[in-house]
A and B are shown apart, each in its own frame.
Chain A
C-alpha cells in the first residue's frame, strides 16, 4: 500500500492547520458563510438536512487496518457511532460538529487520510477496481496509476476551479467492476503484444441528469504518457467546458455537443505539445510507486483447502456465503471476501464503529492488513487464505456482517436520499430496506441470481440508478415521493444506460413493482442460467411494461 512521504505528511498537516484556522475565523465571525463555504467544501464539509456532513476520501478504495480503526474511532468519538460507505469508495459521517472537524482531520492525518477534494469543482478522489491487486482476471494492478493520478491531481493549481467536478476511474482487468465507462475519464490498464503496459482511455462518461457512456478516445496510450494525456484532456475541458450552466458543465456535455473527433483533435494537439515535458512518467518513478502495491508475501498453499470443504459440508449457511461472497484470487489457495454491508432491512453501506473495528481486526489478521471499499457500498477483504475463511465468516456472523448476498437482488446500492441529503427529492434508503425485506428469502434470491438494484433519491444519481439492472429514481411529484423505474442498465464492460419503463410508482407501490419485474423475468427466462440482464436484452421492455401496466379492462 502507498505510504505518505515527507511531502505528503507536511502537506496534509498544513491543510489541517489551515482549516483549523479557517474554522476559528468562521466561528469568530471574521469569515462569512459566503467566504467560508468554498473553503469547507474543499475539505469535504457539507451542510446537510440535519447537520454538517464530512466526506473522507479513501483513495482508490484501499485502506489498511489502522485506517479502518481510525474511521471507527471517529464514528464513536465525534459522530453517532456509525459511518456510511459511499458509491465513490468514500466514507461519510453524518453528524460532526463544525468546531470538532479540525480535530477529526488531525486524527485522519495521523493515519495518512484526509478529506481534501472530496467536494468542489476539482478532480475528485480517483476510484479503482475494488479487487485490484487480488483478482484472478487482472492484467495489472490499477492502483499505482490511480496513486500517480492522485499525486498529480491533488491541489493541481490549474484544475481546482474547473467548470464542474471531475471523476476518474482506473481498472486493470477486462471485467469492469468500477463503472469505469461512467466517469469523466475512464482508464483501463492493458498489455500490448510486446508485453508493454499502457492504457485504453475513455472520456465523457457520467451519470446524473444526462447519463452518458464514455467514448473511447485512445485504444492505446503508453503508460509514460498517462499524465500528459489526462492533462491535455483537462486543459481542453477547462478551456471549452461550459461555465454558464451547471447542468451542462460536465465534460460529457462538451464531448456530446462538440463531437469526439473534433475535441480529440484539440486534445491530441495539446498532448503532442506537452508529452515530452515534465509530466512524462519516468520508468523509475512508476516502478517506485508500483513497489508500494507489490503483492503481499503469500503463503504457498494448495488450491484446495480440505478444512474449507469440510466446513462447507458441515454448515450450509457458510457454504452459501462462500459460494456468493468469495471471489477467485490470483494467488492459489486464497480468496477475495466481499463483506456485504447489506443485512436484511439495513441501510446499504452503513457500518457501526464496532463493525468497523471487527473489519479492521479481520483485515489485520487475515488479509495482509488490507481492506477495500467498493463502489457497491461493501467492504472487501482482498487476500484471505481459503483455510481462514471459516474463522473470518464466524467473526462476520457475530458482528452482523455475514449476509451471503453479494451480487444478488438485496445487494442494493442506495444514496443517502432525503433522509439526510440536502439535494435529494425523495428517500432512497427506506426503499432499499423494504426491498431487502421483501426479498429476504435466500433461496428466492439465489433462484433470481445476479441482479443489481440501484436507487437514487434525486437526478444527480449518486445511487447509480442509470446502471442498475433495475434502477430506481426517486422524485418529488407535487409533494409526494414518486419512483421512476429504469431497466437494463449496466455499469460493467458492457456498459448500458437503463431505459425508463413507464410512469412512476408511489412509495407504497415501488416494492410490488420490483417484484412484478422479477416475477416477469423468472417466467420468461430461457433457463436458470439466463441472468436478468441477459433476459432483458433479449426480451426488450415490452413484457415488463405489460406486466407493470396491464391494459385497463373495457368498461
Chain B
C-alpha cells in the first residue's frame, strides 16, 4: 500500500447552484471542507477518483479535481491559498460564502 506524500481530498462545484463541495463519506458531496474525506494512500486515491468521476458522469457535480490538504487536530486544511478561499468564501466579504453560513471560516482552514 503506497502512502501519498501529501494527503488529498476531492473537490468540485455542485451542478445546480455552483456551490463548492468536497467528497465526503459514502460518496456524498459535502458543503464543508471539514467534512471532506481525506485520502492518504494510493489505493484510497484510486477509489476516490472513481467516485468523483461517477459524480461527474451522474451530473451531481462539475469538474471534480483533487487538492492537497493537511489534517491538523481533526481540521482539514487545504494547502493552497486558492482552495482555502474556496473553502471559506471571499476574504473581503465575510458575509458571503461558507463563512457567512458558519460552515467554515478562513481562519479555521488557514495554515
Contact = CB atoms under 8 A, between A and B. Distances in A.
Contacts of A98: 15-18
Contact of B18 (A47, A80, A433, A480): A47
B83 to A, nearest CB: 9
Interface string A271-303: 000000000000000000000000000000000
A247 to B, nearest CB: 21
B85 A29 contact: no
A48 B18 CA distance: 8
Nearest to B79: A479
A288 to B, nearest CB: 42
B77 interface: no
B76 interface: no
A95 interface: yes
Contacts of A427: 85, 91-92
Interface in B56-74: 56-59, 62-63
A419 B91 CA distance: 6
Most B CB contacts (10 A, CB to CB) among A50, A52, A427 go to A50
B59 A430 contact: no
Given A33-B62, A481-B81, A51 B19 contact: yes
B87 to A, nearest CB: 10
Given A49-B85, A50-B86, A427-B91, A479 B16 contact: no
Interface in A458-497: 476, 479-481
A420 B85 CA distance: 8
Contact of B56 (A33, A47, A476): A33
A322 interface: no
A27 B59 contact: yes
B81 A50 contact: no
B48 interface: no
A47 B79 contact: no
Contacts of B89: 50
Contact of B17 (A26, A29, A51): A51
Interface size class of B (residues with CB under 8 A): 20 to 34
Contact of B93 (A32, A47, A419, A480): A419
A506 interface: no
Given A47-B18, A49-B20, A51-B18, A476 B63 contact: no
Contacts of A419: 85, 90-93
B20 A97 contact: no
Contacts of A480: 81
A34 to B, nearest CB: 10
A99 B17 CA distance: 7
B58 A29 contact: yes
Contacts of A433: 92
A516 to B, nearest CB: 24
Interface in B2-47: 13, 15-20
Contacts of A47: 13, 18, 62-63
B62 A479 contact: no
A97 B92 contact: no
A418 B19 contact: no
B54 to A, nearest CB: 13
B59 A420 contact: no
B12 to A, nearest CB: 10
Given A50-B90, A420-B90, A429-B92, A27 B16 contact: yes
A99 B15 CA distance: 9
B63 A33 contact: yes
A49 B86 contact: yes
Nearest to A507: B81
Contacts of A49: 20, 82, 85-86
A70 interface: no
B63 A97 contact: no
A11 to B, nearest CB: 27
Nearest to A427: B91
Contacts of A75: none
Interface string B83-111: 00110011111001100000000000000
Contacts of A29: 58-59
Nearest to B90: A419
Interface string A32-43: 110000000000
Nearest to B86: A49
Given A49-B85, A418-B85, A479-B81, A97 B91 contact: no
Given A33-B56, A49-B86, 9 more contacts: A26-B59, A50-B19, A50-B97, A97-B16, A99-B16, A418-B81, A427-B85, A427-B91, A480-B81
18 contacts: A27-B16, A27-B59, A29-B59, A48-B18, A49-B85, A50-B96, A52-B17, A98-B16, A98-B18, A347-B93, A419-B91, A419-B92, A419-B93, A420-B90, A427-B92, A476-B81, A480-B81, A481-B81
